[in-house]
Amino acid sequence: MKSSKKSAENTAAKKPKKQKSAKKTFSFIKKFILTFILCLIIFVLAIGSAMAGLVGGAVYGYIKTSKPVTEEQLLAKSSNRTTFIYDAKGNVIQKLTGRDNMDSEPITDKEVPKYLKDAIIAIEDERFETHPGVDIQGVINAGLGFAKSILTGSESKSRGGSTITQQVIKNITGDDRRSIERKVQEGYAAIMLEQKLEKWQILELYMNLGYWGNSCTGVQSASKKYFGKPVSDLSLAQCALLAGIQNSPGKYNPFTEKGRKNAKERQEIILSLMLKQDRITQAEYDQAIKEDLKYIPKSSSQKVVSVQSYFVDQVIVDVRKALMEQMNISATMANYMIYGGGLEIYTTMDPKIQADMDSVFLDDTYFPLVNETAKRQMEHPQAAMAIIDVQNGHVKALYGGYGKKEASNTLNRASSSLMRRQPGSTAKPIVVYAPAIDSKTVTAATVIEDKPVYMLTGKDAERQYPTNYDNKHDGLTTVRNAIKNSVNVVAAAVWRDYLGADASIEYLKKVGIDREKERYISLVLGGWEQGINPLQLAASYVPFAREGIYYEPSTFTLVKDSNGAELINRKAANFNIACSEQTAFIMTDMLQEVTKGRTSTYPHSGTAVTNVNEDKIGMPVAAKTGTTQSNIDKWLVGYTPYYSAAVWYGYDNSGAEPIPVKTAEMYQAHKIFTAVMQKVHEGLPRKEFNEMPSDIVKKQICIYSGKIATDLCKRDPRGNATFTEYFIKGTEPRDDDPCTLHVEAQVCTESQDTLKRNLLAGPYCPADTVVSKVFIQRDPPYLPEKPNEKPPKDTAYELPAGEFCTVHGAPPELEIPGIDDIHDWLWPIGDDNIPGSGDGSQADQSSTHELDTVIPLE
């Protein structure tokens, strides 16, 4: 310290407070305020005293609400103690020890060569040794340089106005907002920090907390990464190069050709500044300029660290975020605490469930190499899975990719924010059906016409959209059966006609998904721009199993510091009500249909029944399948009374063309789900889904009209069309409003139309060809919207109204001869031939007519 003359061996972690006099402390605050007063004077001259008064008030407000760096924030930079991570049973599953687990090696001021300190000061903050934390001259120079660049259109050559102390503040807090408020508060915090620490301690913090590119936090790890040696062995040329990297690690990356060129140019600028500021001699400058900078190969610089599991990777992400929020520290500072602060982190991981999941993901039989496109692009099939306890939202297991995990912090497809795959039809329950049923505008028995639809506008208005996966249409379909067979048209129609974007987006927010900017029909079908990961999807289905309660998924419950004091306690889960208990009950009952065969006369089995069902898992199960366009992604999300889980299967698509999942691997997500969940539920007591809650009523309905069933519904030509359905009280069909869709008519069995329907019997159909049949009769009748549109399948069962038998017509009309006809027939010669009017010969001749052939008149 300045007052106590402590040696430089003291590290910043000790944070000795300066014994400043009240007068000196006031002096620094006074300088800070005077700085802003000076700025305000300039501002007044520019735009007037009224505006200056407003700005002055704002500056005062910013200072008043600023938060100086605390002792706890400075304590976060500790790096020598081992952190222990425990599973839910209290077993240690990971030890984290500073440099063994992260590419960061804190260094003390004593270890840093003077060349490196001078290089940093020369380029970043040349008046560092003398200013109180804020460099007034630097701010003015930066402002003038910026103004000049605006006027001339050239790039500003001046250094930014932030001092090294201010950059330390930003590295500690992680606050990088671009605002006047932030800059004012940062300046004030910098002045306060200068009251607590010596200059060498602040510079030490700068060198340890800064990011130096290629995953290096701190200058020591950067030195070893790029030059293969500690900073104490660096030459002047190497020190100058390192000093320039932190300004823009990507631009000055020594591992790229362009980066090396940029870094060399900046190194020469730094050396020039060091010479100009009398920090080095001309001879030292000349030698450093000529030095050939040699970097070690990137592959040789990779540090060998212990491999963390996918679960531990996610725990570290979550704990880091929690520490940043609770302690107001940066990600870098939080990492120091996690990897070297001696923390105790208690996780939610169940070791048995995790082992069950691991065994499946390490089994090659679930990842068949049958995709020729993938082989050409040298990609292996991938999958990921997450399992959550539905009682509290605790994450029990995660696995983020195929096979053995080879490194820490690799892409975690199970839970990473970078894993954003479209969910396909798994979106329908959470985007459409749950919010629609919860709003009581739709029931499980609501009937929608599954027919060709045209929901696009503009140039695509004539194109059918959406289409069903088989490009066929069943016609009248209940919501229940639309879920069972994953009918796109019905989901889209419910969203468009009954629900709307606002209700969908609001519900999604309740289950932890923000899709505010995706207010279009593809939201319904899971064609999401932002995508989703298995952990989010599994969590979004928890309310269906848990009486409508959504739990924010949690990977840890408690974090303690090295002294055993609680830092973060999340034993009490964060939750909210996503939907009513009644909605959750009905959704579960419908989603169980997806895992069952034909349970009514609806002509489809559930889309998951072959591989996912109660018999295979050994526990009641509800599920939903999902496939994205061109079969790029395959999903299975499902839940039991114990756990909710989601599986994604597909390819990373890192090559030139997307890789569709082929037929031979089409159901791998289903198979992985069942393999894991079967193991997980072994030995667990059988448990049913929640009992039927109050305010649920049951009605026997017609599955094609959604109304109260009649005897005619039982005689539907496809079979018994009745089903006992659940309703939220008040949404059930009225008993006095029965099904009128089904009608009975007399038809002729020997006459059919082009749809092979028997036509209505006519008055001349023989009695033995006339039977009574039941048909459906839409009101209004089905009419195609576009020419050449193929009608729904159920038009084959529709009453052929107005179409009568064409086989049995009326008998030919018989012509009854009049008296003149008989006269002409009998005596065609004339009246002279009438018997008795001539000689006997004529009479004899005419007597030869066979009078017995005359048609009798009666």
Bridge partner residues of 776 (DSSP): 742, 798
User: Rounded CA gap, 207 and 191, in Å?
Assistant: 19
- What single letter denotes the amino acid at residue 591? L
Q: What is the DSSP letter of 83?
A: E
> Is the confidence at residue 29, as pLDDT, over 60?
no
451 located within any domain: no
Are residues 750 and 845 part of one domain? no
Are residues 825 and 701 part of one domain? no
Read off the pLDDT band of 847 (50, 70, 90): very low
Q: How far are the Cα atoms of 161, 481, 568, 668, 834 from residue 459, in angstroms, in the given order?
A: 53, 33, 55, 38, 88
Higher pLDDT, 848 or 670: 670
Measured at the CA of 648, the angle between CA 520 and CA 93, to 5 degrees, comes to: 125
701 located within any domain: yes
Structure tokens that stand for 413 in this block: 């497809």
Are residues 724 and 746 part of one domain? no
Q: Which residues contact 80 (CB under 8 A, 6 or more apart)?
A: 98, 340
Read off the pLDDT band of 45 (50, 70, 90): very low
Q: Which of 475-479, 796-800, 829-833 is modeled with the greatest confidence? A: 475-479
Question: Which of 78, 79, 104, 124 is the catalytic position?
Answer: 124
> Is the confidence at residue 100, as pLDDT, over 50?
yes
User: Rounded CA gap, 451 and 137, in Å?
Assistant: 73
pLDDT tens sequence across 209-244: 888 888 788 899 899 999 999 999 999 999 999 999
Contact 338, 322 (CB under 8 A): no
The number of beta carbons lying within 10 Å of the beta carbon of residue 666 is 13
Per-residue confidence (pLDDT) for residue 857, from 0 to 100 = 29
Mean pLDDT of 625-642: 98
574, 577, 620, 575: which is closest to 595 by C-alpha? Answer: 620
Read off the pLDDT band of 106 (50, 70, 90): confident
Q: Which of 28-42, 131-145, 380-394, 459-473 is modeled with the greatest confidence? A: 380-394
Instruction: Give the three-class secondary structure for 697.
Output: strand
Read off the pLDDT band of 46 (50, 70, 90): very low
- End-to-end CA distance of the chain, in Å? 141
Higher pLDDT, 135 or 505: 505
Question: Which of 79, 330, 408, 425 is the catalytic position?
Answer: 425
From 728, 752, 769, give the residue that closes a domain.
Answer: 728
Domain count, the chain: 4
Q: What is the layout of strands, in order, in the sheet containing 344-347?
A: 92-96, 83-86, 344-347, 556-560, 566-569
Are residues 256 and 141 part of one domain? yes
Per-residue confidence (pLDDT) for residue 26, from 0 to 100 = 47
In b/e form, how buried is each residue of 200-230, taking b as 16+ CB within 10 angstroms? bbbbbbbbbbbbbbbbbbbbbbbbbbbbeeb
Per-residue confidence (pLDDT) for residue 409, from 0 to 100 = 86
| Secondary structure in 3-state letters for 205-232 | HHHHHCECCCCCECHHHHHHHHHCCCHH
Q: What is the residue range of 719's domain?
A: 696-728
Q: State percent of the chain over pLDDT 90.
A: 63
> Is the confidence at residue 19, as pLDDT, over 80?
no
Our CA dihedral for 297, 299, 301, 303, rounded to 10 degrees, sits at 180
Per-residue confidence (pLDDT) for residue 97, from 0 to 100 = 73
Phi/psi at 345 (nearest 5 deg)? Answer: -115, 120
Per-residue confidence (pLDDT) for residue 407, from 0 to 100 = 86
Are residues 831 and 720 part of one domain? no
Are residues 286 and 141 part of one domain? yes
Per-residue confidence (pLDDT) for residue 73, from 0 to 100 = 64
Mean pLDDT of 287-301: 85
User: What is the distance of C-alpha 787 from the center of its chain?
Assistant: 39
Phi/psi at 813 (nearest 5 deg)? Answer: -70, 130
Contact 8, 200 (CB under 8 A): yes
In b/e form, how buried is each residue of 22-39, taking b as 16+ CB within 10 angstroms? eeeeeebeeebeebbeeb
Are residues 843 and 746 part of one domain? no
Per-residue confidence (pLDDT) for residue 44, from 0 to 100 = 45
Q: Which residues contact 290 (CB under 8 A, 6 or more apart)?
A: none
Are residues 265 and 181 part of one domain? yes
User: Rounded CA gap, 175 and 329, in Å?
Assistant: 8
User: Rounded CA gap, 438 and 349, in Å?
Assistant: 33
Estimate the crossing angle of helix 282-290 against helix 236-245, to 10 degrees. Answer: 70
Estimate the crossing angle of helix 351-361 against helix 668-681, to 10 degrees. Answer: 150
Of 113-117, 299-303, 809-813, 846-850, least confident by mean pLDDT is: 846-850
Q: How far are the Cα atoms of 278, 418, 748 from residue 534, in angstroms, in the given order?
A: 59, 12, 57
Are residues 830 and 752 part of one domain? no
Mean pLDDT of 63-92: 73
Q: State percent of the chain over pLDDT 70.
A: 80
Contact 634, 627 (CB under 8 A): yes
pLDDT tens sequence across 442-497: 999 999 999 999 998 888 888 889 999 989 999 999 999 999 999 999 999 999 99
Q: What is the DSSP string of 547-588?
A: TTEEE--BSEEEEE-TTS-EEEE--SPPEEE-S-HHHHHHHH
Read off the pLDDT band of 175 (50, 70, 90): low
In b/e form, how buried is each residue of 287-310, taking b as 16+ CB within 10 angstroms? ebeeeebebeeeeebeeeeebbbb
> Is the confidence at residue 614, as pLDDT, over 90?
yes
| Secondary structure in 3-state letters for 342-358 | CCEEEECCCHHHHHHHH
42 located within any domain: yes
| Peptide bond just before 466 cis, omega within 30 deg | yes
Secondary structure percentages of the chain, helix, strand, coil, to 5: 40, 15, 45
Contact 398, 311 (CB under 8 A): yes
Read off the pLDDT band of 437 (50, 70, 90): very high
The pTM of the whole model exceeds 0.85: no
Q: Residues in the chain, how many?
A: 858
Mean pLDDT of 115-134: 91
69, 44, 66: which is closest to 55 by C-alpha? Answer: 44
Structure tokens that stand for 154 in this block: 């050239």
61 located within any domain: yes
Q: Which of 41-55, 250-264, 319-333, 630-644 is modeled with the greatest confidence? A: 630-644
Residue 779 exposure: Cα atoms within 13 Å on the Cβ side: 8
Q: What is the DSSP letter of 431?
A: I
Q: What is the DSSP letter of 530?
A: S
Catalytic, 425? Answer: yes
> Is the confidence at residue 524, as pLDDT, over 80?
yes
User: Rounded CA gap, 705 and 716, in Å?
Assistant: 12
> Is the confidence at residue 143, as pLDDT, over 70?
no
417 located within any domain: no
> Is the confidence at residue 433, as pLDDT, over 90?
yes
Contact 219, 106 (CB under 8 A): no
> Is the confidence at residue 632, as pLDDT, over 90?
yes
Are residues 48 and 121 part of one domain? yes
pLDDT tens sequence across 494-516: 999 999 999 999 999 999 999 99
Read off the pLDDT band of 661 (50, 70, 90): very high
Q: Which residues contact 303 (CB under 8 A, 6 or more apart)?
A: 103
Phi/psi at 831 (nearest 5 deg)? Answer: -70, -25
From 255, 273, 291, give the residue that closes a domain.
Answer: 291
Instruction: Give the three-class secondary structure for 639.
Output: strand
Residue 417 exposure: Cα atoms within 13 Å on the Cβ side: 5
User: Rounded CA gap, 603 and 623, in Å?
Assistant: 19
Catalytic, 580? Answer: no
Read off the pLDDT band of 351 (50, 70, 90): very high
> Is the confidence at residue 91, as pLDDT, over 80?
yes
- Kindly report the average pLDDT of the chain as a whole number: 85
> Is the confidence at residue 305, as pLDDT, over 70?
no
Q: What is the CATH number of the domain that holds 219?
A: 1.10.3810.10
Per-residue confidence (pLDDT) for residue 149, from 0 to 100 = 62
User: Rounded CA gap, 750 and 322, in Å?
Assistant: 77
Read off the pLDDT band of 65 (50, 70, 90): low
Are residues 842 and 703 part of one domain? no
Contact 593, 480 (CB under 8 A): yes
Each as own residue / partner, the long-range contacts of residues 247-253 (CB below 8 Å, 24 or more positions apart, any chain) are 247/123, 247/124, 249/211, 249/212, 249/213, 249/214, 250/213, 252/213, 253/213, 253/214
> Is the confidence at residue 806, as pLDDT, over 90?
yes
Higher pLDDT, 54 or 556: 556
646 located within any domain: no
Estimate the crossing angle of helix 114-124 against helix 199-209, to 10 degrees. Answer: 90
29 located within any domain: yes
Per-residue confidence (pLDDT) for residue 681, from 0 to 100 = 99
Our CA dihedral for 435, 438, 444, 449, rounded to 10 degrees, sits at -50
User: Rounded CA gap, 287 and 282, in Å?
Assistant: 9
The number of beta carbons lying within 10 Å of the beta carbon of residue 443 is 23
584 located within any domain: no
User: Rounded CA gap, 209 and 166, in Å?
Assistant: 13
Per-residue confidence (pLDDT) for residue 820, from 0 to 100 = 57
Are residues 848 and 763 part of one domain? no
